[in-house]
Structure 1
Amino acid sequence: MKKIFNLILVATTLFVFSNAYAQEKYLPVSETPGQIASYVKAHFPKSKIISVKEDKEIFKTEYEAKLNTMVELEFDGHFSIKNIESKDALPQSVVPTRIAAYVQKNYPDNKIIEWKKKKKGQKIELDNDIDLVFDLSGKFLGIDR
């Protein structure tokens, strides 16, 4: 019984300290990390960054950038893009070639409005609310329902 109590005490302490360490703050636009600014300039040249949020936790850091064109970008702590969401079609330069080709062939009248990369795959959302799932190499796996 004492072991269970100690285990619960340790878990609770870790939870409290990890939440206490988690810090979310907005960076001045002038202090946008260079990698994020370069990504925006390369793929969204007509857009301007209007906010950058840094979310620090014990084992990871993430960034969220919002553009004046209703685009939201999420980056991991190494500034690799993780998620792109827009009200309009995403530029072809941000969608992996194999995925763009699949959508062009199978959904020629639709636009990709969101792309998300996860550890085991990728997911896109079309403007008709259909979510398509792909592996990391861009091979189509199915429709997410």
Structure 2
Amino acid sequence: MKKIILTLVTAVSLLFLATACDSGEDGNHDSVISAADLPKSASAFVTTYFPGITYLTVKKHNIPESDGSVYEVKLSNNFEIDFDANGNWIDIDGNNQPIPADLISEKIQNYLTANYPNQFVTSIDNEKTSIEVELSNNIELVFDLQGNFIRIDK
């Protein structure tokens, strides 16, 4: 019985040790940086679309994420924005708040007004080949880069 308990304790200890040494799902270490260390275009973006809002955290990924994001910004209004190495936004998550309308192309806005008049965009992802928006009713829509509707994402 003592051997079983000792083996179990050893196995659990090794499991905790292995997960404590894991640096994330992709081995990527993040660094917390100052907002002043963001690319100028990212800082200008935040100032333009979120005036008067303060930064809660700014992280820099040492290795870009699969979507190309290098900087992860969390703002005091609960918005989260990811930027690439050049400071271009990759995705914006309003955490159930409306994304500023100026960030959504007129063509996509027209489609949303015609087809989802009582909904607003809570998240937008600027993918390499498409633009994905999530609406306040949790429906995700996919558009091409010209703003043409492609499909509802499931």
Amino acid paired to 1:41: T
Partner of 2:153: 144
> Partners of 1:58 and 1:131 in 2: how far apart?
25
> Partners of 2:104 and 2:52 in 1: how far apart?
18
> Partners of 1:42 and 1:115 in 2: how far apart?
17
Amino acid paired to 2:145: L
Is 1:84 the counterpart of 2:92? The answer is yes
The answer to whether the Cα contact below 8 Å between 1:71 and 1:85 also exists between their aligned partners in 2 is yes
Report the TM-score when normalising by structure 2.
0.74
The answer to whether the Cα contact below 8 Å between 1:114 and 1:126 also exists between their aligned partners in 2 is yes
Using a 3 Å threshold, how does the CA distance of structure 1 residues 50 and 141 change in structure 2: closer, same or farther?
Answer: same
The answer to whether the Cα contact below 8 Å between 1:25 and 1:55 also exists between their aligned partners in 2 is yes
Using a 3 Å threshold, how does the CA distance of structure 1 residues 28 and 138 change in structure 2: closer, same or farther?
Answer: same
Using a 3 Å threshold, how does the CA distance of structure 1 residues 99 and 71 change in structure 2: closer, same or farther?
Answer: same
Secondary structure of the 1:69 match is coil
Partner of 1:108: 117
Structure 1 residue 29 displacement after superposition: 3.3
The answer to whether the Cα contact below 8 Å between 1:52 and 1:64 also exists between their aligned partners in 2 is yes
Partner of 1:16: none
Partner of 2:74: 66
RMSD of aligned C-alpha atoms? 2.0
Partner of 1:121: 130
The answer to whether the Cα contact below 8 Å between 1:63 and 1:74 also exists between their aligned partners in 2 is yes
Which sits farther off after the overlay, 69-78 or 59-68? Answer: 59-68
The answer to whether the Cα contact below 8 Å between 2:139 and 2:153 also exists between their aligned partners in 1 is yes
Report the TM-score when normalising by structure 1.
0.78
> Partners of 1:58 and 1:122 in 2: how far apart?
19
From 39, 48, 51, the equivalent of 1:42 is 48
- Which protein has the bigger strand share? 1
> Partners of 1:54 and 1:73 in 2: how far apart?
12
Secondary structure of the 1:104 match is helix
Amino acid paired to 1:43: Y
* Matched residues, number: 126
- Percent identity of paired positions between Structure 1 and Structure 2: 27
Structure 1 residue 33 displacement after superposition: 3.2
Structure 1 residue 129 displacement after superposition: 0.6
Amino acid paired to 1:142: R
Secondary structure of the 2:70 match is strand
> Partners of 1:58 and 1:65 in 2: how far apart?
14
Structure 1 residue 51 displacement after superposition: 1.1
